Amino acid sequence: MSRTSRLAIVLALFVSLGSSCKAPQEAPPEAAVALPELATESRAVSFEREVKPVLEARCVVCHACYDAPCQLQLGSYEGVARGATKLPVYDTSRLENAQPTRLGIDAHGVDAWRARGFHPVQDASASGESLLVRMLALGAAHPFTASEKLPATVGLDIDRALSCAAPAEFDAYAREHPDGGMPYGAAPLGSRRARPKAQPRWQSLVPTSRSGRRS
């Protein structure tokens, strides 16, 4: 066999190998989680008169303390505006001092808290809804059976691992924790407070200023 023939065979072999070793195709992005639609409210909403009473009745039982889940404190407008974080308050494995995150003391203003690793819960996302709205809608989509024991997927241990999803991580969170909507481990908000397609949207009920008018 001539040198030219051998070279042609080698080249043909490389071509065949190249055609059979195609790069793996990327999986298509998963569709957004389908959630109940909450009705809109176009008028200005008062935080003190209309939002705070609901938060105090159903939310601050968990989200009021310094070590509230995800450090989300819902007992005041400043706490709502600060948002949530993945950073734990108490980390017994740390070897160095940790910067405290006391509301109203260790940082002032939304920008300062964003620099400290807190993400928003009231700002509209790419889906058009805030993280708070979607968490409440997830709870409405998967209500628990009345008078029945909570499913094993709903952990209530004080030292359980928390999933503090940022807005861009909500869909993944909802797929992994379909029973993890808000209020966590409790009945959805009543029809007078957040019934899908009937009551004011929670994004409207958390205004962008204390005065109650959204900018």
pTM exceeds 0.75 for this model: no
Mean pLDDT, the chain, whole residue set: 76
- What are 156-181's pLDDT values in tens digits? 887 788 889 999 999 999 999 998 98
Hey, which residues does 103 pair with through a beta bridge?
107
- What are 8-56's pLDDT values in tens digits? 554 454 445 444 445 555 555 566 677 777 666 677 778 788 888 888 8
Residue type, 121: V
Element (H, E) at 82: helix 77-82
Higher per-residue confidence, 191 vs 144: 144
Hey, which residues does 38 pair with through a beta bridge?
196
Phi, psi torsion values for 107, nearest 5 degrees: -160, 155
Q: Report DSSP letters for 83-98, one per residue.
A: -B-S--S--TT--S--
- Pick the range with the lowest mean pLDDT from 71-75, 81-85, 145-149: 145-149
Q: How far, in Å, CA of 55 to CA of 78, rounded?
A: 13
Q: Which residues contact 60 (CB under 8 A, 6 or more apart)?
A: 74, 75
